[in-house]
Amino acid sequence: MIQNYEFTCIFLADEEKMKEGLDLVQEAFAKSNVKITKQDDLGVKTLAYEINKQDKGHYVYFELECDTQVIKELSRAFQLSSLVLKFLFINVEHK
């Protein structure tokens, strides 16, 4: 079942690592037939608390359309990546 999601991802603040992480996320979306309807680069922000010894992160916001089963697969892949500090999927229909 296709649903709308909001996805926010925090990458390493380093520009090269951020681009690698963003490429990883976009490739994962493409392989899983996820349609990106909006993408917004929110820039580098200071984190409220350190994550993996990092005090800054590069935030990127997405609006997506995808099958609900894909979210679990993507979450697993992003958890295993050292380029992604944190991420959050929100189902827009169930806000």
As a whole number, the mean pLDDT across the chain is 94
Topology, domain 2-94: Alpha-Beta Plaits (3.30.70)
Confidence of residue 80 (pLDDT cuts 50, 70, 90): very high
pTM over 0.85: yes
Whether the pLDDT of residue 76 is over 80: the answer is yes
Domain boundaries, the chain: 2-94
pLDDT 10s digits, 7-42: 999 999 999 999 999 999 999 999 999 999 999 999
> In a 10 Å sphere around its CB, with 0-12 CB exposed, 13-18 middle and 19+ buried, how is residue 52 labelled?
exposed
| Contact (CB, 8 A) for 90 and 6 | yes
| Contact (CB, 8 A) for 22 and 60 | yes
